[in-house]
Amino acid sequence: MKFETKAIHIGQEPESLTGAITVPIFQASTYSNESLGISKGYDYGRTINPTRSALEKNLASLENGTYSTCFSSGMAAIHSILSIFRPGDHIICSSNLYGGSYRLFENIFTKYGLIFDFVNTSIAENVEKTFRTNTKLVYIETPTNPLLEISDIEAIAKICFSHKAYLCVDNTFLSPYFQNPLDFGADIVIHSTTKYINGHCDIIGGVVVTNNEVIDEKLKFFQNSIGAVPSPFDCWLTLRSVKTLAIRMTTHNNNALHIYNFLKNNKKIKKIYYPGDKDHPLRTVIEKQMRGYGGIISIDLSSKESAKLFCNNLRIFTIAESLGGVESLVCHPATMTHTSVPEDIRNKIGITDGLVRLSVGIEHYEDLIGDVDYALSKV
Ligand SMILES: *Cc1c(COP(=O)(O)O)cnc(C)c1O
């Protein structure tokens, strides 16, 4: 079955009692037992909820995975993945990660004895070189937030396999429509469903997908034990949104390409970050593992002052955290999404004070081009 068809049908058979065409919102915390010890397979809402199960089935299929576990946020999903490991375990991460992931690793999990190394995973050999005997996980984003750095999933998966470590890929930026890391040998895929998967800036959620039964059992145990579960209504909204993921991603992708072509030679932009760049040094990797470039473009406007003028003069793009919604958003990572990354590290990896991240929505691209054109004229 193709992506668009799966998005609409998997986990979403008409409801058995009434034939309702959409999965109902099962707004119940608990379920009756017919007699002591006999239930219909449902006991308590934290442990299992039919609306959530439908979403899990659906998202697993979109990532070409067998199992999936939904959480109340992307961070809760990442927290559960990290909970698999023990004090003394070593984890290799991309040096540019979502700021919240960096904060979770550095400020919370190091306290519990996990050891992190942040390396530029765009160069797969860096991963090989950083391996230790106690390395248990490689955790990458590709493309990364906000610099859109690309890592070769297949090459890193091979390295992990040879060292008996897991590879986890944060696939939030492309959504399962444009990239399926499990197909290239990753063991775990995580999404902040808050972003493209839900796509309407109206829920917070996360999901983990895997083909590994042992990992899945652990994640289900953490989901139930820790209890960071999404509400039935949020699961329902996400299911509804997923039905249009393919057409939304297609438009995000086309719009971003138009904007990139408009911006790429602009003299006021010191550097532009976009995976669709024809001369991208990792062109072959991009063509191998991605079916589209997504809707994010980051631009370096040299100074905080220019970044501020640009953001303040946009009229359609709204200044806001987050990304991946139907509405175009703009953010200044240094003062918004990546404040938890220390300034020297930020500057070292390229998250400068002049950097601005555009999340291109699905409005008409001519209006969006007009908007960035006007804002740049004020810089
Ligand atoms: C937003 C984001 C997260 C965190 O997800 P929440 O749903 O906000 O908890 C993780 N990874 C990436 C790449 C993100 O953009």
Interval between CA 191 and ligand 1 midpoint (Å): 7
Same domain, residue pair 153 and 275: no
Q: Is 63 in the pocket of ligand 1 (CB under 6 A)?
A: no
Kindly report the protein residue whose alpha carbon is nearest to atom 11 of ligand 1. 98
Residue where a domain stops, chosen among 225, 242, 259: 242
Please indicate, yes or no, whether residues 18 and 127 belong to a single structural domain of this protein: yes
Tell me, what DSSP letter sits at residue 184?
Answer: G
For residue 166, what are the domain limits?
3-242
The SS3 of residue 258 is helix
Pocket of ligand 1 contains residue 101 by CB under 6 Å: yes
Q: Do 134 and 261 sit in the same domain of this protein?
A: no
- Residue that finishes a domain, picked among 219, 242, 265: 242
d(CA 191, CA 244): 17
Closest ligand 1 atom to residue 173 Cα is 13
Q: Are 116 and 138 in contact (CB under 8 A)?
A: no
If one residue of 59, 79, 142, 145 were mutated to test the ligand 1 pocket, choosing by the most ligand atoms within 8 A of its CB, it would be 145
Q: Say how many Å lie between the CA of residue 17 and the centre of ligand 1.
A: 37
Q: Where do the H-state alpha helices sit in the chain? A: 3-9, 50-62, 74-82, 99-103, 124-130, 153-162, 175-178, 213-226, 232-242, 245-263, 283-289, 304-312, 343-349, 365-377
Note whether 101 and 130 are within 8 A (CB).
no
Do 338 and 217 lie in a common domain? no
Buried residues in 180-205 as b, exposed as e (16+ CB within 10 A): bbbebbbbbbbbbbbbbbbbebebbb
Tokens read off for 345: 């590290």
Instruction: Classify 49 as helix, strand or coil.
Output: coil
Evaluate: CB of 192 within 6 angstroms of ligand 1. Answer: yes
- pLDDT score for 340: 84
Same domain, 150 and 257: no
The total of other beta-carbon atoms located within 10 Å of residue 33's CB is: 12
User: How much distance in Å is there from the Cα of 227 to the middle of ligand 1?
Assistant: 18
- For residue 253, the Cα-to-chain-centroid distance in whole angstroms is 16
| 177 and 205 part of one domain | yes
In this predicted structure, what is the pLDDT of residue 233? 98
Closest-CA residue, ligand 1 atom 9, reads: 74
**Mind listing the pLDDT tens digit of every residue in the chain (379 residues)?**
999 999 999 999 999 899 999 999 999 999 999 999 899 999 999 999 999 999 999 999 999 999 999 999 999 999 999 999 999 999 999 999 999 999 999 999 999 999 999 999 999 999 999 999 999 999 999 999 999 999 999 999 999 999 999 999 999 999 999 999 999 999 999 999 999 999 999 999 999 999 999 999 999 999 999 999 999 999 999 999 999 999 999 999 999 999 999 999 999 999 999 999 999 999 999 999 999 999 999 999 999 999 999 999 999 999 999 999 999 999 999 999 888 888 998 988 889 999 999 999 999 999 999 999 999 999 9
Contact 172 CB / ligand 1 (< 6 Å): yes
The number of angstroms, rounded, from the C-alpha of 372 to the middle of its chain's C-alpha atoms is: 25
120 C-alpha to ligand 1 centroid (Å): 20
One domain, residues 347 and 231? no
Number of domains in the chain: 2
Does ligand 1 come within 6 angstroms of the Cβ of 204?
yes
* 79 shares a domain with 108: yes
Q: What CATH number is attached to the domain comprising 150?
A: 3.40.640.10
Q: What is the CATH number of the domain that holds 359?
A: 3.90.1150.10
Ligand 1 geometric centre to CA of 98 (Å): 7
Residue positions annotated with a catalytic role: 46, 98, 170, 195
Query: Cα 335–260–282 angle (5° rounding)?
Result: 90
* Residue 335 token pair: 């003062």
**For ligand 1, is residue 141 a contact (CB within 6 Å)?**
yes
- Give the other-Cβ count within 10 Å of 102's Cβ: 21
Indicate if the alpha-carbon torsion angle 297, 321, 64, 237 is positive or negative: negative
Q: pTM for the complete prediction? A: 0.96
pLDDT score, position 162: 98
Same-domain status, 210 and 256: no
**Closest ligand 1 atom to 206 CA:** 7
Short-list 70, 64, 93, 83, CA closest to 3: 64
Same domain? 88 vs 212: yes
Same structural domain, 210 and 271: no
**Nearest Cα residue to atom 7 of ligand 1:** 74
Q: Is there an atom of ligand 1 within 6 Å of 195 CB?
A: yes
Q: 82 is written with which tokens?
A: 């990290």
From 184, 210, 242, the end of a domain falls on 242
Same domain for 338 and 372: yes
pLDDT (0 to 100) of residue 32: 94
- 336 Cβ inside 6 Å of ligand 1: no
